[in-house]
Structure 1
């Protein structure tokens, strides 16, 4: 990129005019920076080190001391905003597309192999810079997307038919004349799955789906002692999530299901309130029980305890 165009693009003030007219790369990580590139520096120390690595342009919010008169030193009001300006240009030049997803849809986007953004320009820097033309990116932050492009796509509902009984552990579905057999997710996620199928077909994108990448709820079968047992070893199941959004989503989908109960710590808005896992362990009046707990804590408490033999046994 021509440096004069770059200066105008990021709305920078020139502190020092360097000796070159073009740059060929951009970076924020000193471990990945290349020669003849632009480096966005947070401080004088980073800038000095980048100059030694051979960068042609330093961009910073600070008014830096000039260590090399052959290097362009540029000052901007806000470093992140300058990076956004650069990538807004990149997104147009490389014909990037963006799909807004809520956090649960985002889990399916990952399984469909879409590029998932952190919605933080510093964390997403390399992904945005290095992706191919016409890449689709997914984000759960509308404002972040709109800083990169003036428009974005959303998912819409699609007709489908669930084949067989409605299961919490696998789903077979017919959609767009395509048969998807024994997908490893609960029936109430089918709306999201089929909306992606419709979107992929509409955009003529390559199809790929890996349900092993899904991170939805964890299911734990419990025996008569309320200890975790093998899959199918009991008729009672704990459904565990670790955040409020997943919890509320499943409650909405299963609230009218027979023998479905909710357990929460210190709450009046549930079927069983508890303050400690030992109280939850006494609760048996359910077929399916949804809880919001740290997975590691739950497993360590509900996993069968091994009895160690003493020296005299």
Structure 2
């Protein structure tokens, strides 16, 4: 990576008159810097260690003491914005096949084993860089525009969606599913049937593009998260109480999840807690819907109503508290 290209792409300012003109790699961890590296300094405190290991350049966006005039000190307005411009340019030669999808489909893809020629991407700019930069030419990338800036890629296509059902559900509860796909039986997967349509599209995508895959199990989806509780809103072991608080951080999924609960648990008392900001944009009925202004209000609202299932939008389960008898259960993979 040439210094002149970095300056042109990032519109960075070169401080000093370094003798270096090319870098071997881009490194974020100062302990992994080698002679010839360009070190990305999110923290000025890490620069001395990077220099000690032989960094040829430092990319930074905050006031920093220039410690070595032979090093290329590149001052940019914003590190993440600079990295995006660099990555966008240098990915051109990789000719990646990039596909966009929703966050749930992307999260499902992280739980399925695939070869190195396929990459699912999300996270900070640093995490995105570290995943995309080593990819082989013509690799397939899956990302969600909700979670990752699509401008990183010159172009992308939408996920190829299934035209017919290939998953047969054998047995289900609200939070577990046993199903068959391609003559393989997957028993008691910790995956709500709510996610099966998303999984259907993902597996079709893999099949259509001839991406080998292996399903080993599902956990920690980060969406539609069930937490069993008692009347005091203390967390209990999975399956040991008749009250379940379901957390969903993604507000745009709430309508779909309410419809799912109404269809799959028509016998149950269901309530929904939404942030006050959603009141004016609500597209569903208002029966059994409560609004909270602050997360601290949620426990009191839950205690004020009798319910079997409470769908809570916009927060995570940290608003609840574990009971003494269930503290050890909090490490369960399901949560």
Write the distance in 1 (CA, Å) between the matches of 2:320 and 2:69. 61
For residue 130 of structure 2, what is the aligned residue in structure 1? 126
Structure 1: unaligned runs, 5 residues or longer: 305-313
**Which of 114, 136, 143 matches 1:138?**
143
- 1:94 deviation in Å? 3.6
Deviation sequence 1:28-61 (CA, Å, 0-9, x none): 3333322211123468766565444322223345
Separation in structure 2 between the aligned mates of residue 84 and residue 226 of structure 1, nearest angstrom: 44
Aligned length: 299
8 Å Cα contact 2:27/2:38 also seen in 1: yes
252, 274, 288: which is aligned to 1:271? 288
CA offsets 1:77-117 (integer angstroms, 9 cap, x no match): 44333211221133233444444333333331222255341
Q: Does 1:195 align with 2:212?
A: no
Q: For 1:68 and 1:298, how far apart are their aligned partners in 2?
A: 51
Query: How high is the TM-score relative to the length of structure 2?
Result: 0.68
* Residue range with higher mean Cα deviation, 42-51 or 120-129: 42-51
Call closer, same or farther: CA 1:141–1:271 in 2, change over 3 Å. closer
Please name the residue that 2:116 is paired with.
none
Residue equivalent to 1:295? 317
Counterpart mapping for 1:207-226 below 5 A: 207-209=213-215, 210-219=217-226
**Aligned partners of 1:77, 1:123: CA distance in 2, in Å?**
20
3-state SS of paired residue (1:141): coil
Deviations 1:211-243 (A, max 9, x none): 135344344668999998776667x45242153
- RMSD of aligned alpha carbons: 4.2
Match of 1:311 in 2: none
Shift of 1:121: 1.4
Please give the alpha-carbon distance, in whole angstroms, between the structure 2 residues aligned to 1:77 and 1:31.
25
Structure-2 residue corresponding to 1:310:
none
SS of residue paired to 2:244: strand
- Report the Cα distance in structure 2 between the residues aligned to 1:65 and 1:282, rounded to whole angstroms: 57
In our comparison, the structure showing a higher alpha carbon Rg is: 1
Alpha carbons 1:101, 1:138 under 8 Å: kept: yes
> What's the counterpart of residue 106 of structure 1?
106
In 2, the alpha carbon distance for the partners of 1:214 and 1:40 equals 31
- 1:229-308 alignment runs, 5 A limit: 236=242, 238-243=244-249, 245=251, 247-257=254-264, 258-260=266-268, 261-264=270-273, 269-271=286-288, 277=299, 280=302, 288-292=308-312, 295=317, 298=320, 300=322
Find the residue that maps to 1:162 and give its secondary structure.
Answer: strand
2:74 maps to 74
Residue ranges of structure 2 left out of the alignment (5+ in a row): 114-118, 280-285, 292-296, 327-335
State the SS of the aligned residue for 2:205: helix
Which of the residues 150, 175, 178 maps onto 1:169? 175
1:25 paired residue number: 25
Partner Cα separation in structure 1 for residue 3 and residue 95 of structure 2: 22
CA apart distance, 1:262: 1.7
Higher RCO, 1 vs 2 (CA within 8 Å, ≥6 residues apart): 2
